Structures are given as C-alpha cells and as structure tokens.
Structure 1
Amino acid sequence: MTESIRIAAWNVNSLKVRLPHVKRWLEEQEAAKKPIDALCLQELKMTDDKFPHQELEAAGYISLAAGQKTYNGVAILVRRAALAPIATDLETTFLKPLRNIPGYADEQQRILAATICFKGMQPIRLVSAYFPNGQSPDSEKFIYKLGWLTALHSWLETELKDSARFALLGDFNIAPTDADVHDPKAWEGQNLVSPPEREAFQGLLDLGLYDSFRLFEQAPKTYSWWDYRMMGFRRNAGMRIDHILLSDALKANCLSSIIDKVPRTWEQPSDHAPVIAEIKA
C-alpha cells in the first residue's frame, strides 16, 4: 500500500546536457528512500525522436514527451514501482494524454498532461508546463505570454471540472510575490514580476488551485532559479518561479513542498532547481 508519493518539476535547460544530472538525482533520491514517483521536466530542447526513453526506462521510469528542436519541450516521467497494476505499458500509464492547450494554435511545445494511476491511490491528473518567458513587458513575446496565460486559464477551468485530483507543475516564469524575489525593488515592473503576470498567477489560484510551497512555513529567501551571470547562485540572487499548484483534494493531502538546491551546486548545472511536493494516499 502506497503511503505517499512525491511529485516534482525541474526545468533542466537541455535534457541532452542534463540527462546525467536527472539520472543522478533520481538515483540519489531513491537511495535516500525518498523516491521521486513522477517528475515533470521542462525545456527539453530536443525533438521527440531524440528523447532518451530507453535510458530512463533503465533507470526505472516510463516517460512521455512533447519536444521540439532547440527550444521548449516538456515531459512526464513516472516511476514504474509506484504505478498501479493496471499500468503495464505507455497507454495504460499515461491515461488521457494531452499535448498543448486545446483550441490554442501554438507551435511551441509547452504543455503535456496525463492522468496517472499510482499504487493504492485514486488517479491524479498531472500537467507538465513550461510557461513563456515573456522577455520584457514592451515586447511581442510578452504579448504572446499574456495570451498564452489567458488560454491556459480557460482550459484549466474545464480540466478542473473533470479532474478533482489535479496538479500543475513546472517553470511558470512568474515570481508571484515580492517574497519570491531576491531584490524586489530592482525587479519592480520587469518581466517575471509585472502586475499582469502576477494577476494571471492569482487567476490560477482563483480557479481553486493552491501554491503547495506556501502551504507550509518556509525559510525566507528560498528560490528555485538563479541567473548564471554575476555569481547569482553563490549570492542567492534568485527567484521562485518554479511551482507545483494543487487542487483542493490534493492540497488536503499535501505533506510537504520543498525546493532541492543540491543539483544547482553540481558541475554544469541547470539554472533551475527541482521543486517537490509529497502527497499522501
């Protein structure tokens, strides 16, 4: 009987480069008896035919991916040992798979959703999401970001009606409050923290989602992303832009929500750290 599962999100900033880190992290979590049962990856930067399904299978994970050349890309990895007996192959592991926001024309691969049947638990709908960066509030990329956020909100309204047990995981490219920014004054009005972006984040919460990290008391100045430049990580000049949002049913069963900064200390790391939430059965 499964007592709990741990679900995680990690922007790896190129899976080709970071695959050894992903495998190492999963192995270390397993060795510490804190296995990651589902891992949502963002910024794969590879096409579907290049995705390392076999290597991940050898590591104990079955995977689903939505990739593209050079940019973006999302995936969901599920630990075979955590799956219910009915999940025997790709089709029975990833139920009702969905790629991209329905009805929203977009060549960029940013959304991958599937319903997972974990051992001893009711199914959970997982969404791996890589929100647009936006570049700057006066750019066309920012206009795209706001349009994408509007489409996401509309789609999630429907999703949440169909799935009471729901988790949205990924790199949101939004720091929701000043507490999530190392220097709020310096960043005021800029991309990632602008009022329209924060309003969009709040709009997701208004749908009935909860920021799992803020369900618990957290140490101040805890971030998930640090710029490679100007010794950002060493100075802890970061932001919390990677999130796990949970529906009410999962919020009630959430045991913890943390950011694991250890992989950010490794050689040639992603600029993001994994975020983890533990959900009891």
Structure 2
Amino acid sequence: MKAILSSEWLKFRSVRSTYHAIGTAALMVLLGVVWTFYVSTLADQRGTLRAAAPEEGFLPLLQLSLAVLGVLTITSEYTTGMIRTSLVTVPKRGALLLAKAEIVGLFTLVTATSILLLTYTTSRLIANDRRLGFNETTLADDLPMLLATALSVTALALVGLGLGAAIRSTAGAVVSVVALLFVLPGVANYLPPPWNTRVASLFLPNLVPQIADQRLSSRLGDGFLPPWAALAVLLTYPLVTLVIGYNALKRRDA
C-alpha cells in the first residue's frame, strides 16, 4: 500500500490542476482581506455595523475549488487515458481508489484548515478594534466552527472523488456536487413543515453548525441533530459516494 500511496502522491502533485485548485481556494484569503478593508472603511464612517464573516461569505469558493480537485483526481485519468496504466500497475481497484481517497482527504483537510485559519486571522487583524459584528467573538469560541467547516470541505472533496469515479465525467461530477451543496438544500425548504427543516438539517451546508453545537436560527431554527449525530451524517456522504464510485470502477473497463 505504501508504494501505491507514493505513486498516487506523485501523480497528485505533478498535475497542474492541483495547483490551479489550490490557487483558486487561496483566493479566499485575498477576498477576505479586501472585504475586511471595505467594511472597516464603512465602520470608520458609520461607527459600528454587522458584516458577514469572510470565512463564511467566501466559503463556497473554498468548497467548490477543493471539491473540483477531488473530482479531477480521478476524472483527469480518464481524460488522458492514464487510468489504464494505473489499473495495470494496481490491479486491485479498491486499493487504487483508497489511496486516492487518503491523499485527497489528508491534503484537503490540511489545505482547508490552513486557508480558513489564515482568512480568519488576517480579517481580525485588519478589523482591529472596530465593531464589525464578525470580530466580536474569540478564536476559542469560533474554533469549533472553523474545524467543523474544514472537515466538511474535506468530506465534500471526497464526495467529488467518489462521484468522479462513478460518473467518469468532470462536468457531470461537478454539477452533481453543486446540486448537493446548493440546489437540494434549497429544494428542501419547499417541503411542508416540519419536514422542510428536518430534511434540510441533513444536508452538508447545515451540518457544520450542528457539529459545532451551534444553533441554526438563521436557517432552520434549532439544530435537530446532536454534534455526534451530525458528524456521523457528514461522514456518511463520502463513505456512500466512495462505495458507489468503487462499484462503478470495479464493473467498468478503463
């Protein structure tokens, strides 16, 4: 397994798409700086105001960038035909997908955590003592939400990997990720109560506050799941999609 991991890590860091995805995700830090300077200027003119936290407002950029990275980790091999070489080198397709999942999961977790913490830190330093709404809590208070967010981004990247293995199309897998992240949670709001809030609480965007044991008053009222249950639901997403991807990878020819 060590040899497989080394091979997959070499492929992962040798393709341009990895660096494009990282660069796009890292734009979150720059956008957070620009946003904080902007709202700080408004605060100097108006006094206090309540602005969205940059690590929340620009989160979709981080989510989609790293989810696309997960997708491309497998679909790019189908595009270039490298998957045939991979399957000759590693006949056990489950081992191949597991190695890719380990690399994507660990890399995404480190990258997402670093970008979130950097965005958080730079925005608070720029805000200084201005009252902007998002800088009125301490890092100790916000850390559970930041870590839960990084974990959810990691889960989403693994979902992208699983969907990429199942669909074998970059566009199809990315559209599926977008639907899961943005479309389906919105559709759940049209269900009759109380099913609208109960179903919505199971979707990825709403699991993070529940894992961090925070209320969902802005979207759902109180969270319906305790932190351990919300974490279990979050982990179910990549597990299910990777199993589906493995079954598709096992049945189909390269």
How high is the TM-score relative to the length of structure 1? 0.24
Larger relative strand fraction: 1
How high is the TM-score relative to the length of structure 2? 0.26
Larger relative helix fraction: 2
